[in-house]
Structure 1
């Protein structure tokens, strides 16, 4: 994804990602251990808070990172409360949020210090971000004594105001871009606010790799726990691996490059970075988490009904949210893709007619088909994808 231009992902960022691997695994286990819709909604809420915590570190290094000892120490310090928050997911899912909320508050203390380090808080941008994290710290701490559901409203307010400080959304500029179909409307006037396109695209690509890895991990663990010793069982494991590979192809063959190009054309606009990465990648990321949970359940000895619905709905959401699957200049092709997409969302109805292992093969086959349909070739198709993106924003 990176051809040598722009900032590269640092080693300390990759180490911090290991902590989020732990969090992703805990969220997947939450759904697998209690396979019901309530668990899915709880996982989504917890994922949302952890997602923006991760984005805080990504934006910090993207704009101000120099990969020197003081900043490395701050990132490593931030990994400690983040890791505690990951382990605290289980009690938080049952309503005991004290450790989880305090850990998120402590993480934001580190982020506030890192953004305001060395008097940088006096600058307009870094001062705005530091203040926003200070407000978030207070809201997360206070939420410990606030009953549900108001507690989660405080969390949402904390994230909303800090995300606005990190990546402000200029609605007027976005409207002008749609009218003129020119990304120049979004170029930030202050160069300090600009996002390094290559680094940002690479960070989110690496996070999707983590989530795709969770699909493989859940499949492997479920197969091992079920003591696979038949051709059918090993075949289902292979199907799960093929499914993960097809989902990888759907993003990295086309969507990743289109997203990078759009952000580059906007001059690293924080508004565009927020739209296509910080917000735009949240749904496909959570979709992969649901795919991992569904695959893990399907490989168990007696999977529940929800095991059929989770992966098909998640694959449908992934196709919609990554956009490239529906991008085509052929009307008949678009109609056929729409029909296929609707059919994927309905596959859960097959729980009464298909056993889990053949169902996994069906999911894998459809994912491969979608990847083949979305396969783009040449710069002309990429330009069409970008034009379609502008039209859909």
Structure 2
């Protein structure tokens, strides 16, 4: 019997379910989310900007994941109105992102955008956590039904200054910790024991009441693997599509010359190559992943990191288009090279975890995908941003070429 917590490929006898029109419409909020988060890294790039970007992206991704999993489990019983309300909540979070960035990074002192973001996040997460039917426990990602991480967010509404961000980080940290340590099966067992004990202590025989001795049963539910992988893949595609839009927008405001054309072509090749590695040669939007090899919870964690990295690459490419033939500043160069190295490093992790890589492939991916971008970030101080993007595109194309030529590893 297969483990229900494993991301598996659908059996031939199973009817493969695809994302509904309502779910596809709901996913469009990702476009606005990635565009808004670009404002955070589009300002002065430093550790504060990177930290704020990671914090806001994690909050957005956790909220989206809650509703994605609800639609996955509910299937034909998904309520469209619930998805639309969740979409509206995510929209409020996104609309406040530029204000949050200006308030925190620009030191404007106006904390109203932070309060709006916190309230929208709390309301969206609480509403999403109530989506499941009574008596159901999501085994694959139980944090979607747990609101413990929202307590620091609620407290942040009543404090001022940087303490808001500290409490936000604490809340996200609690959620991430719960993802790692909380088992859906353990929660199911504890809840069932609690209901059984409560039913036993409260049962009192009365002549006018009929007792059948029934104890409420808590059901564990798991994701639909095919639908799950499709939604994760669609998220990655949407992020890549928005990345292309950002590059086009930057090019539309730049001076037209052959250098700009070369940068645009290299940027498109790089993003298209990442699409090939993540979607065509990957699974659930994750490069080198194979279906049925890792738990759904692990796939979600890797998906969060991969999509965050891809969105970061888009900001870097837009910056290169804007700087023209000039060398990128140190932070911008490290953002581009570091993001691409992180993308390939995560690909190495998925390849090893899903047993789709042997030792030779793993070592070659580390050298070409991780070491080369990091060396360029370290040494290419006087190299133009355009040349740097061309080098990054060549690295991605080389990985695509090897993926096409190498036979998949079975097992």
1:261 corresponds to 2:278 = no
Deviations 1:192-238, CA, capped at 9 Å, x for gaps: 42211001101110111112113212211111121x31111111111
**Higher helix proportion (structure 1 or 2):** 1
| Rg larger in structure | 2
Distance in structure 1 (CA, Å) of the matches to 2:27 and 2:144: 25
Corresponding position of 2:388 = 359
1:15 corresponds to 2:61 = no
Corresponding position of 1:184 = none
Corresponding position of 1:383 = 410
Distance in structure 2 (CA, Å) of the matches to 1:275 and 1:375: 26
* Superposition map of 1:9-48 within 5 A: 9-48=19-58
Secondary structure of the corresponding residue to residue 157 of structure 2: helix
Distance in structure 1 (CA, Å) of the matches to 2:16 and 2:167: 40
**Displacement, 1:157?**
5.3
1:233 corresponds to 2:260 = yes
Distance in structure 1 (CA, Å) of the matches to 2:272 and 2:219: 38
**Displacement, 1:275?**
0.8
Residue in structure 2 matching 1:111, options 115, 124, 128: 128
Distance in structure 2 (CA, Å) of the matches to 1:362 and 1:161: 38
1:218 corresponds to 2:246 = yes
**Displacement, 1:49?**
1.1
Q: 1:275 to 1:112 in 2, by over 3 A?
A: closer
Q: 1:376 to 1:162 in 2, by over 3 A?
A: farther
Distance in structure 2 (CA, Å) of the matches to 1:207 and 1:320: 20
Distance in structure 2 (CA, Å) of the matches to 1:363 and 1:245: 12
* Superposition map of 1:149-168 within 5 A: 150-156=166-172, 159-160=175-176, 163=179, 168=184
Contact persistence 1:135–1:158 (CA under 8 A): yes
Q: 1:36 to 1:164 in 2, by over 3 A?
A: closer
**Displacement, 1:145?**
1.8
How many matched pairs? 346
Residue in structure 1 matching 2:398, options 349, 364, 369: 369
Residue in structure 1 matching 2:98, options 73, 90, 98: 90
1:317 corresponds to 2:325 = no
Contact persistence 2:17–2:226 (CA under 8 A): yes
Per the normalisation by structure 2, the TM-score is 0.75
Distance in structure 2 (CA, Å) of the matches to 1:369 and 1:59: 35
Could you list the runs of 5+ residues in structure 2 that have no partner in the other structure? 1-8, 105-110, 187-217
Secondary structure of the corresponding residue to residue 354 of structure 1: coil
Secondary structure of the corresponding residue to residue 145 of structure 1: coil
Contact persistence 1:36–1:306 (CA under 8 A): yes
Residue in structure 2 matching 1:337, options 365, 386, 405: 365
Per the normalisation by structure 1, the TM-score is 0.78
Q: 1:163 to 1:58 in 2, by over 3 A?
A: farther
Contact persistence 1:19–1:83 (CA under 8 A): yes
1:206 corresponds to 2:234 = yes
Corresponding position of 2:86 = 78
